[in-house]
């Protein structure tokens, strides 16, 4: 996080992690840049249900830290602060355990600035599809144009080149194209235009129509990726269905036993 200091005086090693031990409780940063672990299910969420970081937007589910990271970063932004971070792409669609409600609240409060869909195979340590989130506490702060009623969606899934069978890399030109699109959209004198299949400046009303789903493909005119689903949400739903089936099986077994007792066998 950056808070205006140009030295390393605010850098602290934290063995407990940012959730259990928020080393910078009072820090309000101008910029937050982060690459947190994706879909972390062991983040001690059960111990933090009443944490102040969740006060305005809801408690993140204990089984997945994605939205805990989002709210942690947002909590530490200054009044005109901006955040950019990498997350699992499932965060754009998930409705598990209140995540959809948190995302809706962030959108309605005009805090989501830009979403970028990343190509597959960019990361060496995970195959989980990823995206970029950009948040801004004040989208009408005067430094840039007023974009409070808009969100920029960029779909870069087809960009980059394979350097081997398992790894894709974005060139400097690719990165400049993505960054330049965002800057041109945000800046008052930018020459931004929607490009079908790549970028779209969508109104909040349009995002509402799509039930607060933030998958860029739906806005730029590309089909959803085959992997465009939230594993935790899918697994939780299947698990709940299975548990209901087990309960129904148990109920039917009891009923069958009771009916069998009523049958008289004459000898």
Q: What is the pLDDT of residues 47-100, one digit of tens each?
A: 999 999 999 999 999 999 999 999 999 999 999 999 999 999 999 999 989 999
132, 84 contact by CB (below 8 A): yes
For residue 111, pLDDT over 60 is answered with yes
pLDDT band (50, 70, 90) for residue 115: very high
- Per-residue confidence (pLDDT) for residue 266, from 0 to 100: 66
pTM of the model: 0.80
Angstrom distance (rounded) from CA 2 to CA 246: 52
3 has pLDDT over 60: no
Q: Are 17 and 43 in contact (CB under 8 A)?
A: yes
Instruction: Check pLDDT > 80 for residue 233.
Output: no
Tokens of 225: 């990726």
Handedness of CA 170, 77, 36, 198 (dihedral sign): negative
Average pLDDT, the chain: 88
Query: How far is C-alpha 135 from the geometric centre of its chain's CA atoms?
Result: 11
Q: Which residues pair with 131 in a beta bridge?
A: 87, 117
Cα gap 66→60, rounded to integer Å: 8
Backbone angles phi, psi at 261, to 5 degrees: -65, -25
pLDDT exceeds cutoff 60 at 37: yes
Tokens for 123, please give them. 């990361």
If one counts every other C-beta atom within 10 angstroms of the C-beta of residue 117, the result is: 26
| 71/2 Cα distance (integer angstroms) | 17
User: What are the residues facing 154 on neighbouring strands?
Assistant: 116, 199
User: Considering only CA atoms, which of 18, 126, 12, 15 is closest in space to residue 70?
Assistant: 18
Higher-pLDDT residue of 9, 247 = 247
Burial of residue 122 (number of CB atoms within 10 Å: 0-12, 13-18, 19+): middle
Alpha helices in the chain (DSSP H): 66-75, 99-108, 172-186, 204-209, 217-220, 231-261
pLDDT band with cut points at 50, 70 and 90 for residue 7:
low
Q: What is the pLDDT of residues 137-168, one digit of tens each?
A: 999 977 899 999 999 999 999 999 999 988 99
């Amino acid at each position: 996080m950056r808070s205006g200091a140009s030295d390393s005086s605010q850098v602290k090693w934290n063995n407990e992690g940012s959730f259990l031990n928020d080393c910078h409780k009072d820090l309000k940063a101008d910029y937050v840049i982060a690459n947190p672990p994706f879909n972390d299910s062991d983040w001690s969420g059960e111990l933090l249900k009443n944490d102040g970081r969740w006060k305005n937007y809801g408690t993140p589910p204990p089984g997945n830290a994605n939205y805990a990271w989002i709210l942690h970063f947002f909590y530490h932004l200054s009044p005109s602060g901006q955040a950019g971070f990498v997350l699992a792409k499932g965060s754009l669609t998930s409705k598990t355990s209140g995540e959809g409600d948190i995302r809706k609240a962030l959108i309605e409060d005009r805090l989501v600035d830009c979403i970028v869909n990343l190509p597959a195979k960019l990361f060496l340590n995970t195959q989980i599809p990823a995206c970029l989130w950009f948040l801004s506490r004040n989208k009408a702060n005067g430094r840039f144009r007023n974009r409070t009623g808009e969100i920029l969606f960029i779909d870069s899934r087809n960009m980059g080149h394979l350097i081997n069978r398992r790894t894709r890399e974005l060139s400097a030109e690719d990165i400049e194209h993505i960054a330049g699109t965002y800057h041109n959209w945000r800046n008052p004198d930018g020459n931004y235009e929607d490009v079908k299949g790549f970028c779209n400046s969508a109104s909040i009303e349009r995002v509402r129509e799509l039930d607060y789903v933030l998958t860029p493909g739906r806005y730029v005119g590309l089909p959803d990726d085959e992997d465009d689903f939230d594993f935790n949400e899918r697994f939780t739903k299947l698990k709940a269905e299975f548990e209901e089936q087990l309960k129904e099986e148990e109920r039917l077994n009891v009923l069958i036993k009771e009916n069998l007792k009523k049958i008289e066998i004459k000898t």
